[in-house]
Structure 1
Amino acid sequence: MLLSLTNLAILSVVATVSTVEAQQKTGRTTRYWDCCKGSCGWSGKASVNQPITSCDRNDNPLTNMGAKNGCENGGQAYMCTNQSPWAVNDTLSYGFAAVKLTGQNEGTWCCACYKLTFTSGPAAGKTHIVQATNTGGDLGQNHFDLAMPGGGVGLFNGCTSQWGAPPNGWGQQYGGISSRSECDNFPEKLKPGCYWRFDFFQNSDNPDVTFEEITCPKVLTDRSGCIRNGQNPT
């Protein structure tokens, strides 16, 4: 009987581990901050209470969800500065990301939240919880493009029209700035998110991650305004 109970205990542990492994997937990251209105800021993208909040040129939240993207000529809607990342402690931070997941579409990931654990680079072992506010047309599979001021504008650049940034944004078009001191010249509201990259993130260069979807924390949905139907952020 003792052997039988031991075997049952082992089977139970194996089943639990298998369940956790099934929930966790591997992915990759890059970084960006293009100042553009996020793709999840349009109605009809997903089953949510409302699209993510966008802001005007002066970082004031817009009530008109249909406002034209600031990355287009004549556009008024930009990425709000409160969608910058921030650290809770030395091992946990929150933020937002553009997302592309294997076999899924915007209807699945818009406004969904994911727990990312970095598995390579200086930030390995740290956790970054993000809400998907955008979709990257140039992203690969299971790919999280982490939003961080100074991370590079990528394909589109709204930072010049919103903040007077250089023609290719701050730093390189892909990758952004290269030193913490460059954050000192950013608009005040963008400085903390820029410093996050060099402090919490330790200037990691596109680290790999394991990830799993989780119920969105209220600290994220309070900033984005977007909650997936059926979820109760805590």
Structure 2
Amino acid sequence: MKYPLLKSLLALGTIGLACSCSEKSPTNKDGEVSFVPCEDALYLIKEGYIILQDFRVTDINGNQVGTAYPVQFTNYVIIKDLNQVNLVNQVDLSDPKRVKTLPGDPTKCSVVPPSTQVTSCVNAWYLAADKNFLIYDDYTVTDEAGATAGIWNFVPNSTSTIFISDLSGNLLVNNINLTSLPIISGDGIFYTITEPAFLHIDNTGRYLIYSDLSVTDPSGNLVGSFDIATGTIKSKANGATITQADLSKLPLLTPDSKCAYYIPPVIPSSSSVYVPPIVSSSSAYVPPVQSSSSANPPKSSSSQVKSSSSSQPKSSSSAPVTGQCPSIKVKSGGKSGSGWATRYWDCCKPHCSWPEHANGNYSRQCTNKGKNESTDWGGGSVCSGGGLMTCTSQIPFTIDGCNEMGFAFAAVPASDGGSCGKCYQLTFTGKGKYSTDDNHRSIKGKKLIIMTTNIGGDVQQGQFDIMIPGGGVGMFNGCSSMGWGPQGEQYGGLLSDCEKESNYKPTATLKCYKNKCESVFSSDSEAKKGCLFLANFMSGAGNPLHDYVEVECPEVLKAKY
């Protein structure tokens, strides 16, 4: 889903996993509501519904009756019941005649004891069992250090009782009532690590302790060292004791921990650096020239690629023409780390097409089924009753002869404000976030250059949500007027459909996906080509892991932005 958090809900405080306490409280002073939430909520006067801060909707007794879905870039919500049937079509949360604030009672909130060292960068439920878990609203489950431990889902016919499975599908915990669990409020702190590190938190600060006994702050700045003999952290400045730490009791942050930014250590070897083919002093794409002279390498010694692996084949006339990939330059001081790629295409007007977000650098927007560009930047999105949408010209693409590099547009976390028009190079590791199969392994080393046109409230740090037709519409489906076929799973789209239909067999999944692209987008050749990008360039790999680095935007992407 791609939407800014509603101002009316922000007035309640940080939106997150609000506690929905089932304990009944006395009728309030208005004589209407017998349920008091543990945090401030919104009360719909006419309908008698309460909207909690995690968008769950209850009746006046605190029983959940549905969910509130924000309408993109407005103060409106649509309320649907537990069977996804509309209860309230649209309600303006800024209308004081319809909505009032229902004060919460913090004493009714379950909290994690303040002495615990368990923290999270985003809101999570905390389950203390034989092994302790953090449970997130994106259906992932981690250990206390944020390392992925499994996934959760609701028990059939329940909206509050869940079970947890590991990544192989084995049951870990069953019949857990989410509403009874304490909640850890996300602190928004992410930890920059270069290798696994112990995390120590106390009233003096937060510290990462490495195997070489160096100690850094959350941003990776060296602050001191760890003295094993005394179990103390010593200051870099003067050697004084900062605090004590017991390594045996500390959680270990690893590169796949939910709140970790992993920056691989620099290896002083030319083999670790990507050196693109150089075709000219410009970074613009140079199309192939059909004369025989075009196969000769540039004459300037400064542009010669020294590695013998880059030499041109001399004998075969059918050898592919090389030197067509744009030169990708890493941005000095830019972001880097590791994460994973997801996919979506909701047809909504991009975040970076709105004047308040674009800062003059507008991403294109379209009408007429995504085919006609429009400069009506203040116009509304198809996802909220307007007529503006994503342009189908922003499908992912490749360049002939540049087989190991692709180009696409993507959404980044909403917390990365001001990201419109930034570019990143993703290098796939050959592994998947939840499982790894031959489709993931086949794209190891491939690079995807993305340019940001959107943000996602559901996109996490290190995650890039790639715009791919058929990738899933998410919360808002603006594609109903496109004339396309069914778009598959709401989250995951056609590929998720095929994974289930093929019982997660990679070859069968890929074949199924190609067939669906052909049929679903049979009336739109451009969208079909974008859909097939996931099959042809990414081999149908779902949620592949990657290392990423911020780069200067190549002309081939800027021309389509």
TM-score (norm 1): 0.79
Q: Structure 2 matches for 1:1-234, cutoff 5 A?
A: 14=268, 24-47=336-359, 49-58=360-369, 59-73=371-385, 75-88=386-399, 89-100=402-413, 105-107=416-418, 109-119=419-429, 120=431, 121=440, 122-166=442-486, 170-177=487-494, 178=498, 179-185=513-519, 186=521, 187-224=524-561
Percentage of matched positions with identical amino acids: 37
CA deviation after TM superposition for structure 1 residue 106, in Å: 2.3
Query: Helix, strand or coil: the match of 1:213?
Result: strand
Paired AA for residue 97 in structure 1: A
Contact 2:361 2:421 in 1 (8 A): no
Q: Deviations over 1:179-202 (max 9, x none)?
A: 111111202220111111111110
CA distance in 2, matches of 1:46, 1:34: 19
CA deviation after TM superposition for structure 1 residue 23, in Å: 5.8
> Unaligned stretches of 5+ in structure 2?
1-265, 273-329, 432-439, 499-512
Contact 1:46 1:106 in 2 (8 A): no
Paired AA for residue 149 in structure 1: P
CA distance in 1, matches of 2:459, 2:514: 26
Q: Deviations over 1:111-144 (max 9, x none)?
A: 1011111112232210000100000111111210
CA RMSD for the aligned pairs?
2.5
CA deviation after TM superposition for structure 1 residue 222, in Å: 1.2
CA distance in 1, matches of 2:267, 2:481: 55
CA distance in 2, matches of 1:14, 1:222: 35
CA distance in 1, matches of 2:475, 2:443: 26
Residue in 2 that maps onto 1:6 = none
The structure with more radius of gyration: 2
CA distance in 2, matches of 1:145, 1:136: 8
TM-score (norm 2): 0.34
Residue in 1 that maps onto 2:181 = none
Contact 1:159 1:165 in 2 (8 A): no
Q: Deviations over 1:35-64 (max 9, x none)?
A: 1111111113254x4311100033200011
Contact 2:392 2:527 in 1 (8 A): yes
CA distance in 1, matches of 2:525, 2:417: 32
CA distance in 2, matches of 1:15, 1:208: 23
CA distance in 2, matches of 1:130, 1:14: 27
Structure 1 pair 23–153 and aligned structure 2 pair: CA distance change class (3 A) = closer
